[in-house]
Structure 1
């Protein structure tokens, strides 16, 4: 839904120059539609399977969630800083600050409000993940410089015979399928580099563009960015390995005595996500091509 709600959205925004409100404006209505659709499926399609006994309900209601809060003062400080950060995300385009700058400023503010020994937080940083991203962008840069990314991009343009809507749907479907089978972050990183190469070919007069951002935000390529965003988000629902929350939820379910296997998850994922992808193709047509 939002710029900061999904790592691929952050990558897309930083490349194409979108701001926080762009994601609310374009993705927001579609997310609301599929949310209502999913609620209906869960209510009428899985309603009987989702029922709990009175004993289970009573045990859950006895849980005192306030006991999990060990520092109420710090909690309210965090809520205040988060509110400021979210306001900053909403107006970052007007104040000329990147979302990353606002997020880091919020983190620095919390460190000042709650000083502690930095060694423990530093030990909890996902250093392998940071180095993974460093290596990923080096690899994507190498593929771009050697012309591999450009060749793939032009092959996609030629396959759709220059039809922008066909190319938009192709990007949507390929991104969704790829995001179901692999981590969507490296795929989106490759696609953002690919679209930077393809943008001049799609622009009716690339020499008239003042800069790369103008090329990347032209109406000839704009729907493809949103197809990439929606495809990356929806594809994670197709398969168990498509998104980290799927794996976490499956682990919790298994520990609770209700294991969810790959095949079972994919069966439900296909039934729910396939109509959503079709709906996304129609939504993109309605927003950009009607």
Structure 2
């Protein structure tokens, strides 16, 4: 397309991003308004929006979210979230810091084997309940969990959509992925735990009376429907098994989630006011608008040009190539949805990897994965888990501003980048 279209699409995206970052307007309205503006020239048409895998709305993400939100709505009716919340608080002896560490570790581990958005949707209700019991704001806990979800998602081949895109394109095995990415993920996760008191200095003050009240609770009394709990447990096991084996059974995770949601609706007999109670409609619409805007950048060649410019700056040095890919991926993934970026960069990195013979060819893939997945922590729109957490926090009456999330995310991202640089250099160059 012409340069005029590219400039127009870039301007619309930048204006929308600034408005979202300012928190002066509803982010869903801004995203939908930006998407609508893309049709004015038109930069993108309806067929490219609804049917194209490269430029259209990622329906797999939308329906994965919808399916898991419905499942969470049904599971909530059993009382199991209250049970887990009370148990976690009692094991931590009411300490908010220990509870936060426990929840983010569970989130990180879950995100390594499930989609990180799915993990956040399952952990968030527990977080809201335990914070309500202790009389503290859940916002810091939810932000920390989003960070942990993005970090944990980099550990395995199935932990993040971008990991799947890059891993499949590079022909990486599950075992090699685990062996090369897990060490740096563990170190970055440890850094997050150390940073918690500095990132959230006012989040851990709690009334001693609240702690005593929580310690006196009997978590077993929280279970309201044991029969439904067993049914939900069976369906969740089937859904998780479907996520892990989706390639073998030829079902995308979105279809697995929607099948599980439909099954629970049927067997539970709940009315729609119950099974739709946890559906974040604004979040789903925000994603749709964001996908259209990013799709327009792909359609006009903006993302492709940015990716190629980064490729031109790499040169022939393996170390330079690794660091440029890592730094660019951390930066770009913090501001645009990392799925199209991963899809664009995979063939470019593949060309460089194939031209580098010897010990250093695979390191480019680990650099791309580290930056693309963990770089999503930079801003509130850098990763799907961040957007979901923002929606949940707002709906719970504890909205998180774009600036607040980004200020904390920037600190963690800088630390993650430094750790990743050190890890890649030591393991693949110094000790090679």
Deviations 1:70-116 (A, max 9, x none): 543232222223334434544566xx345x53663464255345415
Work out whether 1:195 is the aligned partner of 2:346.
Answer: yes
The aligned counterpart of 1:231 is 371
Whether the aligned pair in 1 keeps the contact of 2:353 and 2:361 (CA below 8 Å) is yes
The aligned counterpart of 1:156 is 310
User: In 2, Cα distance between the equivalents of 1:51 and 1:286?
Assistant: 40
Whether the aligned pair in 1 keeps the contact of 2:360 and 2:428 (CA below 8 Å) is no
Secondary structure of the residue aligned to 1:30 is helix
User: Is the alpha carbon distance of 1:163 and 1:66 closer, same or farther for their aligned partners in structure 2, counting shifts above 3 Å?
Assistant: farther
User: Is the alpha carbon distance of 1:160 and 1:130 closer, same or farther for their aligned partners in structure 2, counting shifts above 3 Å?
Assistant: closer
Specify which of 32, 50, 60 is matched with residue 204 of structure 2.
50
Q: How does 1:3-152 map to 2 (within 5 A)?
A: 4-6=114-116, 9-14=160-165, 16-17=167-168, 23-42=177-196, 50-61=204-215, 70-90=224-244, 96-97=248-249, 100-101=251-252, 104-105=255-256, 107-109=258-260, 111-112=262-263, 114-115=265-266, 128=285, 131-132=288-289, 135=292, 139=296, 142-143=299-300, 150-152=304-306
Specify which of 389, 407, 423 is matched with residue 283 of structure 1.
423
Specify which of 161, 173, 177 is matched with residue 327 of structure 2.
173
Deviations 1:36-95 (A, max 9, x none): 2322333689789734331232244456666765543232222223334434544566xx
User: Is the alpha carbon distance of 1:39 and 1:119 closer, same or farther for their aligned partners in structure 2, counting shifts above 3 Å?
Assistant: closer
Secondary structure of the residue aligned to 1:203 is helix
User: In 2, Cα distance between the equivalents of 1:97 and 1:227?
Assistant: 31
Q: CA RMSD in A?
A: 4.5
User: In 2, Cα distance between the equivalents of 1:118 and 1:166?
Assistant: 58
Whether the aligned pair in 1 keeps the contact of 2:363 and 2:428 (CA below 8 Å) is yes
- Unaligned segments of structure 2, at least 5 residues: 1-110, 118-152, 154-159
Q: State the shift of 1:34 in Å.
A: 2.2
User: In 2, Cα distance between the equivalents of 1:65 and 1:81?
Assistant: 23
User: In 2, Cα distance between the equivalents of 1:106 and 1:219?
Assistant: 40
Whether the aligned pair in 2 keeps the contact of 1:153 and 1:198 (CA below 8 Å) is no
User: Is the alpha carbon distance of 1:241 and 1:55 closer, same or farther for their aligned partners in structure 2, counting shifts above 3 Å?
Assistant: farther
Whether the aligned pair in 1 keeps the contact of 2:367 and 2:424 (CA below 8 Å) is yes
Q: State the shift of 1:266 in Å.
A: 4.7
Indicate the structure whose relative CO is greater, using CA pairs within 8 Å and at least 6 residues apart. 2
TM-score relative to the length of structure 1: 0.65
Q: State the shift of 1:281 in Å.
A: 1.8
Whether the aligned pair in 2 keeps the contact of 1:176 and 1:234 (CA below 8 Å) is yes
User: Is the alpha carbon distance of 1:46 and 1:221 closer, same or farther for their aligned partners in structure 2, counting shifts above 3 Å?
Assistant: same
Q: State the shift of 1:4 in Å.
A: 3.8
The aligned counterpart of 1:247 is 390
User: In 2, Cα distance between the equivalents of 1:260 and 1:128?
Assistant: 18
The alignment of Structure 1 onto Structure 2 pairs a total of residues equal to 266
- Unaligned segments of structure 1, at least 5 residues: 206-217
